[in-house]
Each structure stands twice: as C-alpha cells, then as structure tokens.
C-alpha cells in the first residue's frame, strides 16, 4: 500500500469517529486500551516465566519409562505431554507424580522421585506407557528392559553396607517408610509396603536382590529350567520356538547390577555393587538402599548407556 493511500483512509475514518465520541468516552477508551495492553504483557510474561526452569536447565529429572527425551533434553517430552496424569492413575506402586508450578512449563508433567517410590515394574506391561494418550511416553518399548530412564551410580562407597562387609537386619528405611515393592514370593499382583517385609541378611545386597532386572533374569532362568525339564520329560515338543518368540530378546535381559569383589586400600577384599550395562535407571536400588540420610547408590539421569 502506498503512503498516499494510507493517509487517505486515516483521514476519512477516525475523523468521522472523533466527531461522534465525546472526550470522556475517548479517554475511557484509551484507558481501556492501556489496561488491555498491560494485561496482555503481564499474563504473557507470567506464562513465559514458565520457561525459566527449562532455560536454567533445572527441570530435568527422573521420568516414567519411555519418556520422549534424551538424557537432558526434555523439550519433546514436555511438548507432547498433555498433563492429564493418566500415567499416574495406572501405576500400581504410585511411583509417578505430577510436577507443580515451580517446574514452570513442566507443570503437570509426570516424574518419579526414586528415593520415595521407585518404579519397580510391578505392572510388567508398562501400564503408564499404554495409558499415555499423546505418545509423550513413547509406545516404542515393549518390555521394562527396553526403557532407559537413567543409570545407577555408586555415589558413596564408604557408606555402602556391602563394601563395609556389613549385613542388614530389620525394616529397610524404618517402620514409617511408605514405599511399595512387589515381592514375587508373596503376591505377584499386589505390591506391599517395604516396611512390611523385614530382611535378615548376612551381607547387605538389597540393591542387587531387589533390582527388577536381576529379578527378571532369575525368572527367565527358572522358566528356562522348567522348559528344559518339560522337553526332557517329552511334554513339550515343537513349542520351543514359540516360547523363544514370546520372550524375544527380553528374556533374559542384560545384567544390571552385581556384587563384585573389590580389593580396597587396606588390602582387604570387599564386595561392592557394580552397575552394569543392563541398568534401566528405575531407581529401586536408590529406594531400597538402607543407608539413612543419603543413599549410597543413586540414579543419574544424564548418563544413559547406549548399549542397544
């Protein structure tokens, strides 16, 4: 549009209006316009402040299985998540929580506080992934061992009971601890409070013993044994491939953690939990570690191994 055109239209229209509107009306209109501009700037700034936690890089945390993210870049996950909490509702151990306003744009996005309640894959089928309506928890995974939430790390070997050659007796994390775990030998379908399941161990190996991946490996071994016995007894013929298909690569998964003999400075041989490639970062070891105040073993979200 040329300048001359602009001036013509400008001259015509507002001139007409000005004669119609009183001074008072014009003033109130101008005030309304100012107020409206302030409201827009104010509310948009507030919503933009929600980006601060992301920009400052303090929003990344342990997310449910299948979260659409690289270790520290959660943009896609935040974008795809519709903040409905259906993942929260299906989790049998209530491991998933929704972030609050202090997480900015991450508000309503699910996370896991492993020390309070880790994901122990009680559901087997990754219910949270199935429940997600937007694919923010990607449907690409089929088995717990496919997930990569984080990676465990021995944070403080000095406090580790196993490294100190100590056992553990009693309730892990005390009688008031609310965390749940599934104990296969008690009820496969109903997780119970860890406080209701006291231990008596000569050497503490809780992080290895309760690791869902290690538990799965022993299940696979048991199934393998059963099957071998069945074949030997002639009860199972021609079905071997089917069973293998059914479990795919998942059974058995790769080892996630084991106690290894380590020679310490004083020349003594000690057992120390060592994290292996199969760790999925579910956080059960962090939850179950009986060392009070701060656990010896923690889950990092920034070091996920690429072993696939």
Partner 1 sequence: MKYIIESFSQVYGNNPTRPDKENQSDELKKIYKDKVGNLSKADLEAAHLEHHSHFFRKWQRRRWLTLILVNVLFLVSYKYDVQLLEGAMTASRFVGFHMADLNSALQVMLAYKHVVLNLVIGTTTVFIMWLLLGGRTFCSWVCPYHLLSEWAEFLHLWLVKKKIIKNHTFHRKTRSVFYVIFALLALLSGYTVFETISPTGIVSRAIIYGPGVALLWVGALLLFEVFYSRRAWCRYVCPIGVTYAAVGTLSPIRIVYNAEACHHEGDCRKACLVPHVLDLTIRGRAHTLDQDVIADCTRCGMCVDICPTDSLNFKIKGLDKFL
Q: Footprint of partner 1 on this chain (CB under 8 A)? A: 32-33, 35-36, 39-40, 43-44, 46-48, 50-51, 54, 75-76, 78-86, 88-90, 98, 100-102, 104-105, 107-108, 131, 133-135
- Provide the token pair at 33: 């316009």
DSSP bridge pairs for 151? 300
Minimum separation from the CB atom of position 71 to partner 1 (A): 18
Q: State the residue for tokens 């003594």.
A: 268
**CB closer to partner 1 out of 9 and 89:** 89
Minimum separation from the CB atom of position 91 to partner 1 (A): 11
State the number of CA atoms in the 13 A half-sphere of 21 facing the CB.
14
| Whole-angstrom distance, CA of residue 137 vs CA of residue 130 | 8
**CB closer to partner 1 out of 83 and 209:** 83
**CB closer to partner 1 out of 93 and 163:** 93
Q: Is 137 helix (H, G, I), strand (E, B) or coil?
A: strand
CB 50 within 8 A of CB 105: yes
Minimum separation from the CB atom of position 29 to partner 1 (A): 9
Minimum separation from the CB atom of position 74 to partner 1 (A): 10
**CB closer to partner 1 out of 96 and 119:** 96
What residues have CB less than 8 Å from 51, skipping those under 6 apart?
104, 105
The CA-based diameter of the chain, rounded to the nearest angstrom, is 104
Minimum separation from the CB atom of position 102 to partner 1 (A): 6
| Whole-angstrom distance, CA of residue 115 vs CA of residue 67 | 19
**CB closer to partner 1 out of 112 and 163:** 112
**CB closer to partner 1 out of 36 and 249:** 36
Taking the C-alpha atoms of 192, 195, 198 and 203 in order, what is their torsion angle to the nearest 10 degrees?
110
| Whole-angstrom distance, CA of residue 282 vs CA of residue 123 | 13
Minimum separation from the CB atom of position 266 to partner 1 (A): 49
Q: What's the start-to-end Cα distance of the chain, in Å?
A: 60
Minimum separation from the CB atom of position 46 to partner 1 (A): 6
**CB closer to partner 1 out of 54 and 304:** 54
Minimum separation from the CB atom of position 93 to partner 1 (A): 14
CB 186 within 8 A of CB 197: yes
Please give the helix or strand (H or E) that residue 287 lies within, else none: helix 284-288
φ and ψ at residue 153, rounded to 5 degrees: -145, 140
**CB closer to partner 1 out of 114 and 129:** 129
């Amino acid at each position: 549009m040329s300048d001359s055109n602009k001036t013509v239209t400008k001259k015509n229209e507002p001139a007409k209006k000005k004669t119609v509107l009183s001074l008072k009306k014009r003033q109130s209109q101008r005030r309304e316009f100012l107020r409206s501009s302030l409201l827009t700037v104010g509310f948009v700034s507030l919503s933009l402040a929600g980006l601060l936690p992301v920009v400052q890089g303090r929003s990344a945390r342990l997310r449910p299985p299948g979260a659409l993210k690289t270790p520290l870049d959660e943009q896609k996950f935040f974008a795809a998540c519709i903040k409905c909490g259906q993942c929260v509702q299906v989790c049998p151990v209530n491991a998933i929580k929704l972030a609050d306003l202090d997480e900015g744009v991450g508000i309503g996005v699910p996370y896991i506080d492993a020390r309070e309640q880790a994901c122990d894959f009680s559901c087997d089928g990754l219910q949270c992934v199935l429940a997600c309506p937007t694919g923010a928890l990607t449907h690409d995974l089929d088995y717990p061992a496919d997930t990569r939430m984080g990676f465990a790390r021995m944070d403080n070997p000095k406090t580790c009971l196993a490294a100190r050659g100590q056992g553990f007796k009693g309730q892990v994390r005390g009688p008031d601890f609310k965390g749940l775990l599934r104990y296969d030998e008690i009820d496969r379908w109903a997780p119970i409070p860890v406080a209701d399941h006291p231990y008596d161990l000569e050497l503490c190996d809780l992080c290895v013993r309760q690791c869902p991946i290690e538990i799965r490996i022993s299940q696979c071994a048991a199934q393998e044994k059963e099957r071998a016995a069945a074949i030997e007894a002639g009860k199972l013929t021609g079905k071997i491939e089917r069973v293998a298909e059914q479990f795919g690569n998942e059974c058995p998964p790769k080892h996630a953690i084991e106690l290894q003999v380590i020679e310490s400075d004083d020349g003594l041989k000690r057992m120390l939990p060592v994290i292996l490639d199969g760790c999925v970062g579910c956080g059960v070891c962090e939850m179950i570690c009986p060392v009070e105040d701060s656990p010896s073993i923690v889950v990092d979200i920034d070091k996920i191994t690429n072993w696939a």
